[in-house]
């Protein structure tokens, strides 16, 4: 079985010590590609170093994360844009971008400005966007619905999907995909139930490592090699084989990012 992790921060400091083993474990688990979202200017060096360590396995993306939108957002955003436009063939997507109302609402307005601006770059360069939502999924879907009329080629992933069936179907209508991660294994999160009637055609796998480890590793360091564990739960929810999950989600990811 071939797996793709569409969202992993494996360049994070928590993987520095045992990186060679981490990469080996990913390959042993059947991971053929791992997509790395950027967060801010501080994460750039580590993102680039890991992407260059194994270019066949790692695919870097460029963006400013909503929780990193602070008072200096204008200069930071300009630097992120410079990075992206200097090497548009190197970065496979714009992300992660979006909004987050969970941690801090101080820069709520600026988050939205940054989200819209980065989505415009993605449309300009014909690249997918990776959307982060926290307590803000409806808001983000609304923004994308509006952007889509301006940029019909805009596409991407609503990462770490934890919404309702209705929200998933709105996302499907936009031609976007949803990222299925460890949250689907959490009891009482409601994600598994919400996905019962949502077609596999709009799903891709992700871990968001080192965060959001699936059961039974919940609370520990997450790892891209746990993708099959998350997929096992999805196979139960969709009442199909693990093979089927691997085949469809891998195809969906390759179609989105291009081969
Ligand atoms: Zn992330």
* Helix spans in the chain (H): 19-28, 44-53, 73-86, 108-125, 137-150, 165-173, 191-195, 227-238, 242-257
How many domains are contained in the chain? Answer: 1
Please, what is the average pLDDT of the chain?
97
CATH number at residue 169: 3.20.20.140
What is the whole-number distance in angstroms between the Cα of residue 56 and the centre of ligand 1?
21
What is the whole-number distance in angstroms between the Cα of residue 40 and the centre of ligand 1?
11
Residue 97 has pLDDT above 80, yes or no: yes
Task: Classify 160 as helix, strand or coil.
Answer: coil
Average pLDDT over residues 20-47: 98
What is the whole-number distance in angstroms between the Cα of residue 247 and the centre of ligand 1?
24
What is the whole-number distance in angstroms between the Cα of residue 6 and the centre of ligand 1?
10
What is the whole-number distance in angstroms between the Cα of residue 7 and the centre of ligand 1?
6
Average pLDDT over residues 40-58: 98
Sequence-distant (≥ 6) Cβ neighbours of residue 194 within 8 angstroms:
163, 164, 165, 168
* Residues with CB in 5 Å of ion ligand 1: 208
What is the whole-number distance in angstroms between the Cα of residue 178 and the centre of ligand 1?
14
CA atoms within 13 A on the CB side of 71: 0
What is the whole-number distance in angstroms between the Cα of residue 97 and the centre of ligand 1?
9
What pLDDT does 214 receive?
A: 97
What is the whole-number distance in angstroms between the Cα of residue 188 and the centre of ligand 1?
22
Question: Residue 176: which domain range?
Answer: 3-257
pLDDT in tens, 135-192: 999 999 999 999 999 999 999 999 999 999 999 999 999 999 999 999 999 998 899 9
What is the whole-number distance in angstroms between the Cα of residue 239 and the centre of ligand 1?
28
pTM greater than the 0.75 cutoff: yes
């Amino acid at each position: 079985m071939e797996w793709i992790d569409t969202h992993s921060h494996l360049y994070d400091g928590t993987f520095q010590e045992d990186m060679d083993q981490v990469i080996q474990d990913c390959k042993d688990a059947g991971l053929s590609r791992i997509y790395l979202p950027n967060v801010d200017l501080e994460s750039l060096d580590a993102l680039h170093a890991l992407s260059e360590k194994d270019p066949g396995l790692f695919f870097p993306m460029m963006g400013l994360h909503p929780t990193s939108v602070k008072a200096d957002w204008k200069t930071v955003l300009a630097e992120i844009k410079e990075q992206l436009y200097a090497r548009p063939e190197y970065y496979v997507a714009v992300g992660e971008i979006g909004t987050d109302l969970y941690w801090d609402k101080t820069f709520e307005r600026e988050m939205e400005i940054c989200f819209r601006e980065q989505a415009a770059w993605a449309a300009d360069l014909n690249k997918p966007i990776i959307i982060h939502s926290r307590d803000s999924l409806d808001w983000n879907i609304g923004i994308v619905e509006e952007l889509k009329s301006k940029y019909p080629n805009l596409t991407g992933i609503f990462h770490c999907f934890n919404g309702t069936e209705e929200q998933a179907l709105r996302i499907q209508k936009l031609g976007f995909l949803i990222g299925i991660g460890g949250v689907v294994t959490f009891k009482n999160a409601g994600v598994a139930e919400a996905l019962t009637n949502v077609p596999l055609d709009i799903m891709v796998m992700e871990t968001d490592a080192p965060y959001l480890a699936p059961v039974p590793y919940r609370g520990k360091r997450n790892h891209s090699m746990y993708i099959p564990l998350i997929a096992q739960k999805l196979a139960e929810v969709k009442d199909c084989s693990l093979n089927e999950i691997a085949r469809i989600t891998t195809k969906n990811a390759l179609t989105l990012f291009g081969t």
